[in-house]
Amino acid sequence: MTYLRIANVFLTISAIAVAASVVLFITPGPRLSIEFAGGTLMEIRTAADTQKQAVIDALDAFTLKDGTRLDHSTVSSTKGGTFLLRMRDMTNEDHLALLTHLQSTLGNAEEMQFNAIGPTVGASLKTKSLLALGVASLAIILYLAFAFRNVPRRLNPWKFGILAVVALIHDLLITSGIFTVLSRFTTFEYDTLFVTALLTTLGYSVMDTIVIFDRIRDNINYQQRGETFEQLVTRSLKESIIRTLSTGTTALFMLIAMFFFGASSIRWFMLALIVGTLIGTYSSFFVATPLLIYWRKRD
């Protein structure tokens, strides 16, 4: 079986995964942290035998100064034995009243953290995060077009840049889709640290793709007699696979160690990097490279 036939299977899987990720991102959508959505995050530690439902009942029984209740508040438990309360915006007076109410209702309730952020700041952070991803993608296209400017005219250098970004979009969408699902069943939330992980994944993924594209560019100058472009690409992949997999494996060892032995505050960040590294390595071989072959065949 040729490389392109194998790649066709993975391209189909990738297309389905990307489509599913887009749908998941729209509905039900990711669970955003208060950095993006705005609101209040409160973490409390209670007695070891306190049930989650007891905390929910305590919130339902609380009334704000304006006479309204904490509608759409959510409660989630953490591995550290605390509870995270996500609620609407509230004044400092309401915050102190809520803490007093929880202490009287649940017993010895200790506040571990309290963060509040307005919707305007959250919207600004979302805009800046998307802008950062867009600027980084544009910079990659321009850099690769410049770096590959000396390839034969039949292989337009812009192809390399565009296909590298296509692979990046593939990586970002699938990674986001996976974590959208996780956000619905765990305490994970989309926050600025996750955006940082996506940007890091973007840089790692494009590095893998450039290694393979660079080998293809070198081999074009020494194309064997009667060798098709598909055969040249397959040869280039064989020549670069050990370097690519060695780099990815080394990075994964470090990330996995940090995931298990690092601080709990960066565990989701580490997991995002692990997932992004795996998908980025995969897309270099089975998304960007076969698409380059197909694009060349159409010319």
Going by the DSSP 8-state scheme, the letter that residue 226 receives in this structure is T
Mean pLDDT within 205-222: 85
Provide the 3-class DSSP secondary structure of residue 51: coil
Please, are residues 171 and 283 in contact by the beta-carbon 8 Å criterion?
yes
Predicted confidence band at 154 (pLDDT cuts at 50, 70, 90)? Answer: low
pTM of the model: 0.80
Please, are residues 184 and 31 in contact by the beta-carbon 8 Å criterion?
yes
Residue 52 has pLDDT above 80, yes or no: yes
pLDDT digits (tens, 9 = 90+) for 251-267: 899 999 999 988 777 88
Q: Nearest Cα to 115, choosing from 196, 189, 38?
A: 38
β-bridge partners, 86: 41, 74
Domains, the chain, ordered by start: 3-31+121-298 (1.20.1640.10), 39-117 (3.30.70.3220)
Residue 125 has pLDDT above 80, yes or no: no
The amino acid sitting at 86 is: R
Please, are residues 118 and 89 in contact by the beta-carbon 8 Å criterion?
yes
Predicted confidence band at 17 (pLDDT cuts at 50, 70, 90)? Answer: very high
Count CB atoms within 10 A of the CB of residue 251: 16
